[in-house]
Structure 1
Amino acid sequence: MEFVSEKIYVPNNLSFISRRLQLSSNARIHSHKNFELNYIISGVGRRIVGDKISGFEKGDLVLLGPDLPHCWELLDIENGEKPICIVTHFSENIIDSNFFGMPELKKVVALLKFANRGIRFKTEDDVIKKLLNDLPESKGLDYYIKLLKVLNHLIKVEDKESLSNPINAFNHFSKSTERINKVYEYVFQNIQEGIKLEEVAVILNMAPSSFCRFFKNKTGLTFISYVNNVRVGIAAKLLAETDKKITEICYESGYNNLANFNHYFKTSMNETPSDYRKNFR
């Protein structure tokens, strides 16, 4: 099955990003450079990781390494609850940092390396769940400390399983992925100033029409849809984690008028920006 490569937006002033996201019944297989820690708050469905398919349910906790194709597809909602997961993304280069070179973090590094096949942690540890629930609303140093505490608990979990065979079969996708990553970098760097189709097409030495066909073929999205998804993602984080006015968030996420912002946000998230904020308070 074809999958898409994504770039996860992590603000420049953060080393990782943790969000509450709604599960979908039409999720697509995708991969990204970042590590991902996925915790299911509610919902039941099918999980695809690498070359294996299995089920997931409330309490499911999985760590994925970079470039590992995956998908969480919602099949049922538990007791009428809104199907929610907490997803934390952090850099694929975290292992190479000087901080993670400390002897005390040796077991954490080993765990992260093992995550190239995907790891499911079979644990009922309430401390881990509490930390993960608190992550999206945390700030500053407390944000990073809680992530380290989560990793500290995960290395102590004895009952865990690999979710995939080693993945080496996606090299044919790497050249296209490299080109798409250039587009992602352009979008993240210019999201507030304005995105110009002609400029991004030049990056790949393509005419705008050829670029649009290439991007849709490789990602499954039109370029405009992708840009709007990034903007909505930025807005959702600001709505959930700050007290900034919705008008201010509209412009910070790259929209030049409130009507467009409200339209695209509701289309993507199935609720207005103000309702989305209320659900996280």
Structure 2
Amino acid sequence: MNKLHEMRNENSFSSFMGLIEILQILAQSDEVKELNTEDTRIKWFLNDKIRMGTIYDYIHENYDKAPNVNVIAENVNLSTPAFCRYFKKQTNMTFTDFVNNYRINQAKLLLLQNAVITEVGFQVGFESLSYFNKLFKKYIGETPSAFKKKHLSKIAN
């Protein structure tokens, strides 16, 4: 503690060297006091699972509307930028990409039930049929009509 007080009155280089000396003393010291004996890895793991479950529930309940990243961020007690970083780290996708992927998968299920393509696009939350067709082709590799035709013909045979 005395070394810290002495450093206040020294020039920046001497203070830096004093800090290095303190760190060296700490590194070689045998005086250790464990501050937390609890293994927190499981707790963090479970908290992540609960948080992601809340996010997935929100997406499932709102994919056909306009899921709002600000609302879900607030629901899981994160700022919007922190939520976006957290979500990308957990899923390797942005929130918007994830929601769009979810919508397209829901659309596939509806198309396999022989639903009308234009209705499907609106049912899963797309406001534009052309955007729905564009994203469907991007994610699935074919248009909704080609997907529907190919898979329904397999079912009929």
TM-score range, shorter chain: 0.5 to 0.7
Task: Quote the residue 1:246 is aligned against.
Answer: 117
Match of 1:110 in 2: none
Tell me the equivalent position of 1:276: 147
Q: Among residues 182, 205, 213, which one is paired with 2:85 in the alignment?
A: 213
**Out of 137, 140, 143, which is 1:266 matched to?**
137
Q: Compare the two structures and name the one with the higher helix fraction.
A: 2
Which residue is 1:188 aligned to? 60
Deviations 1:67-110 (A, max 9, x none): xxxxxxxxxxxxxxxxxxxxxxxxxxxxxxxxxxxxxxxxxxxx
Higher relative contact order (CA 8 A, sep 6+): 1
2:99 aligns with one of 221, 227, 245: 227
Counterpart residue number, 1:257: 128
SS in structure 1 at match of 2:118: helix
Of all paired residues, the percent bearing the same amino acid is 32
Whole-angstrom CA distance in 1 between matches of 2:58 and 2:133: 24
Q: CA deviation at 1:241?
A: 1.5
Q: TM-score, normalised to structure 1's length?
A: 0.38
State the TM-score, normalizing by the size of structure 2: 0.67
**What whole-Å deviation, never above 9, does each CA across 1:160-213 have from its counterpart, x for those lacking one?**
xxxxxxxxx987532212101101111111122221111111111111111000
Unaligned runs of 5+ residues in structure 1 are 1-168
Could you say what the CA RMSD is over the residues aligned between the two structures, in angstroms? 1.7
Letter in 2 for 1:179: R
Structure (1 or 2) with the larger CA radius of gyration: 2
One-letter amino acid matched to 2:62: N
Runs of 5+ unmatched residues, structure 2: 1-40, 153-157
- Aligned-pair distance for 1:246? 0.7
Query: Runs of 4+ in structure 1 displaced over 2 angstroms?
Result: 169-174
Further displaced range: 261-270 or 172-181 = 172-181
What do the CA deviations read for 1:204-230 (whole angstroms, capped 9, x no partner)?
111111100000011111111110111
Give runs of aligned pairs for residues 54-133 of structure 1, distance below 5 A.
Answer: none
